[in-house]
Chain A
């Protein structure tokens, strides 16, 4: 699905959160939005999801030429895994019940298959409040898959999980992108992990500083220049993997 972000700006009161954001993402892309804290990354994806339109933003978001408002109203293509999924952890609801209540499940085999692919099958009867951060992230990815989302946004998907869990999440996302052709857009501070997986990088700090192929940006030293003032966030890299169309 082709995604276009046109002239997006966002102000809350007199504070400018985002200014003149313009970029487009190709169908089937795996993209990362990188930038320091307070750069407007989470705001940008909420605007791209159509969740903040009335509050602060101007501009247009188009998915295959269709406005995001229309997409949310009738097509429901957009999936989202928030950074902090806050819910009442004392609520006695099993993962299985959560899906049966919140998703219109029809195909029983596909249900177990998706849960298995996300290492969630054995957790089906567990109470959601007892799941770890990584398990909740995967549970929300499964929620989006049950709704047949075509674009999946993830806000810091690996911030609350260990290295092993992080590798699992990236391997799942790679699989969804390559096999199921789902557009994936993630926010991450972990540049090394991002560059190994994504094909497009958007450097954001209130405005767009660079957009392009992960390797082009890395090899052209653009990302180093972008993070010049934020050295703590970018220390080293292990190279990138060239993605071919």
Chain B
């Protein structure tokens, strides 16, 4: 039974999901503070259109998605900043437009159903070397970015007006965060699937928030729980033959409800 974990597909799956879960849980801190869950959901759902285009033109969907998602985030930021429409509405409009285009495009594709199902629900057990390199590159880039700019993003999230008075370009930082999230989502789609990837961004920080008594513990617990839940999900998937994405999300959800229970037991009152 244990030998199966030493097989290349299992090692790749564990490594890829670990890298992705750490970055998702870390960046998810800002998704939670800045209430960007809807944005993340839209980018992940819209990735279906990106996959459809990639399959249509015969390009590797994993690589194509990175550019497509960044473009989507840029488009949302551009329209939101240059119109009087609220950001939520802009996200809704662009989300619906791109999804519709993607669904129409998918209806023309034949024989691509297996690939589509993989991207819809995630299939970390089918991670390729290209996917693994993408995960590693994303992990290095996103970790470096978050290590350097975490404080600035926390400042712009907590006190945007006061940040402006300290010479910080809040709009620029909001834009770079949106692009970063889009890149993270585009790479994570292969692990958890377009439908479920937002869960990796929002469940670990919100579970950690329930039982943390300081910001430091909030960040650490979010990353650790994201990582452990992801590894547990992959193991459950390997040993019990569950679909991987949903297995990872369910373990995260169990931890979230457990944290909610602990919050009530410990009577954490904030």
Contacts and interface: CB of A to CB of B under 8 A. Distances in A.
Contacts of A143: 159, 162
A92 interface: yes
A89 B270 contact: yes
A15 to B, nearest CB: 15
B94 to A, nearest CB: 24
Given A74-B167, A92-B209, A101-B215, A80 B161 contact: yes
Given A87-B158, A90-B270, A93-B214, A51 B164 contact: yes
B158 A102 contact: yes
B151 interface: yes
Contacts of B1: none
A85 B209 CA distance: 21
A97 B151 CA distance: 11
Interface of B: 33, 151, 154-155, 158-159, 161-162, 164-167, 209, 212-218, 269-270
Given A92-B212, A94-B214, A130-B270, A51 B158 contact: no
Given A88-B33, A102-B159, A127-B270, A94 B166 contact: no
Which of B158, B162, B166 is packed against the most chain A CB atoms within 10 Å?
B162
Nearest to A147: B166
B214 A97 contact: yes
B270 A101 contact: no
Contact of B209 (A78, A80, A87, A91): A91
Nearest to A127: B270
Contact of A76 (B167, B218, B269, B270): B167
Contacts of A74: 167
Given A73-B167, A101-B154, 8 more contacts: A49-B161, A72-B164, A79-B165, A94-B214, A101-B151, A101-B155, A101-B215, A143-B159
Contacts of A85: 159
B192 to A, nearest CB: 25
Given A90-B209, A101-B155, A80 B270 contact: no
* Chain B facing A: main interface SS: helix
Given A90-B209, A127-B213, A102 B154 contact: yes
Interface in A115-151: 127, 129-130, 140, 143-144, 147
B224 to A, nearest CB: 15
A49 B217 CA distance: 35
Contacts of A51: 161, 164-165
Interface string A145-180: 001000000000000000000000000000000000
B167 A93 contact: no
B33 to A, nearest CB: 6
Contacts of B218: 91-93
Given A91-B33, A101-B154, A72 B167 contact: yes
| 7 closest residue pairs by CB, A with B | A93-B215, A92-B212, A129-B270, A97-B215, A102-B155, A127-B270, A92-B218
A212 interface: no
A38 B218 CA distance: 41
A31 B167 CA distance: 25
B270 to A, nearest CB: 4
Contacts of B158: 87, 91, 93, 98, 102
A82 interface: yes
Contacts of B161: 49, 51, 80, 82
A113 B165 CA distance: 24
Contacts of A101: 151, 154-155, 215
A143 B166 CA distance: 11
A76 B162 CA distance: 10
Interface string A191-202: 000000000000
A129 B162 CA distance: 18
Interface in A90-116: 90-94, 97-98, 101-102
A47 to B, nearest CB: 13
Nearest to A46: B161
A145 B159 CA distance: 15
Nearest to B221: A92
Which of B33, B161, B166, B216 is packed against the most chain A CB atoms within 10 Å?
B166
A52 to B, nearest CB: 10
